[in-house]
Amino acid sequence: MAYSTNDDLLNEYSESELAVLTGDPTGQTINEDRLDYARENAEALINAYLYGRFDVPFTGEINPIIKKISVDLTVNNLYEIAYSRTTVPSTITWRKINAVKMLKDMQAGIVSLTGSNPTVNAPPPIISNKTKNDRKFTDQQLSLFDD
């Protein structure tokens, strides 16, 4: 199941804008294959970041945050394809940066997806009560044992 749909993209862009982004300079026809390719790459990135923390790929009703990230990454992918010989607009680049930051925060457990099913085997956060001062040997002493 896709994390976002064409209707989600059409909430932000007109059909002619999407047609141009998918390769039709006349703005008449949306290239569905290119759109699907951009969406699949977005979802692969989402799954790669959230694997181990959540049971991915997500099924059922998609969390609005995941849907937003999917739309942002899909749009960025479309722009990167369409503007491969020029510069992608900075607003589109920032959408990707913010989406990846959100994925990293979810991966680290800083941001939670309410209603999502975290996996049973989700890695626990690493907590340590040790500091550099707790060491019995200094770095200099340890370096004497290097070969």
- Indicate whether 133 belongs to any domain: no
138 pLDDT band, cuts 50/70/90, is: confident
pLDDT in tens, 56-115: 899 888 999 999 999 999 999 999 999 888 898 999 999 999 999 999 999 988 888 765
Average pLDDT over residues 23-34: 93
- Indicate whether 22 belongs to any domain: yes
Average pLDDT over residues 30-45: 95
Residue 26 is predicted with a pLDDT of 93
- Indicate whether 99 belongs to any domain: yes
- Indicate whether 139 belongs to any domain: no
Residue 69 is predicted with a pLDDT of 96
What's the distance, CA 120 to chain centroid?
Answer: 22
- Indicate whether 145 belongs to any domain: no
**Taking the model in full, what pTM does it have?**
0.76
Tally of domains within the chain: 1
Domain around 36: 6-125
- Indicate whether 35 belongs to any domain: yes
* Residue 116 predicted with pLDDT over 60: no
- Give the span between the Cα atoms of 36 and 34, in whole angstroms: 5
- Indicate whether 131 belongs to any domain: no
* Residue 120 predicted with pLDDT over 50: no
- Give every CB contact of residue 134 below 8 A, 6+ residues apart in sequence: none
- Indicate whether 104 belongs to any domain: yes
Q: What is the mean pLDDT of the chain?
A: 86
* Residue 11 predicted with pLDDT over 90: yes
Phi, psi of 72 (to 5 degrees): -60, -45
Q: 36-40, 89-93, 136-140: which has the minimum mean pLDDT?
A: 136-140
CA 4 → CA 8, 75, 143, distances in Å?
Answer: 6, 11, 54
